[in-house]
Amino acid sequence: MKTPICSFDARTGVLCPKCDAKLKSGQLSDADIQVSIKLTKASEKNQEISKINLVKAEQVDQDYLLVLEPGSLAPLRRDPSLQKSLQVILGGKVWLTEADTTDKKALEDLFFPVRIANVNTAWLPDGSKLTKVVIPGRKTERFPHDTTMIGKILQESRGMDLMVEFERQ
């Protein structure tokens, strides 16, 4: 398991001078530290959690975005109970993505397990960029995500302005 803070700090819950300096300079956030400590504690009893390599964590309202090491998300998805365990450990809804990823891949990660039909980019007259995601079919009761929340997470984590459309109304 890797976390954005040293493993010693994550185990003891006390920051070393190096990590403390990173927190003060803004290189580390409070969410990075809290999530690292909670996951490290949980990893002692949960083998799946111990496989997580966390690059960074962000809190958006009551939800958490966990940014994992590139290429490490797909194997974790094979255990459908992992996301639920994470939500119990952190006490909020958990969204998973990877670091250094494209906008399209970040969208696929956040909408998972929902498939995305299409991603388009539009430039608005004021010069801002709008990313439009098209979801196949129509929105039903069973649609698992709060798309407003996904938009907020993408805005805060990537500065992306998101518009979600369903193929059929």
Summarize as ranges the residues that interact with Zn ion (CB under 5 A): 6, 9, 16, 19
Contacts of 27 (CB under 8 A, 6+ apart): none
The strand pair at 161-166 and 129-135 is best described as parallel
The strand pair at 63-68 and 94-98 is best described as parallel
CA distance linking residue 97 with residue 108, whole number of Å: 9
The number of beta carbons lying within 10 Å of the beta carbon of residue 131 is: 20
- Residue among 20 and 165 whose Cβ is closer to Zn ion: 20
- Residue among 8 and 143 whose Cβ is closer to Zn ion: 8
Minimum Å gap between C-beta 94 and Zn ion is 24
Contact 64, 95 (CB under 8 A): yes
Minimum Å gap between C-beta 16 and Zn ion is 4
Minimum Å gap between C-beta 99 and Zn ion is 19
- Residue among 11 and 132 whose Cβ is closer to Zn ion: 11
- Residue among 25 and 81 whose Cβ is closer to Zn ion: 25
DSSP helix/strand/coil, 27: coil
Minimum Å gap between C-beta 72 and Zn ion is 22
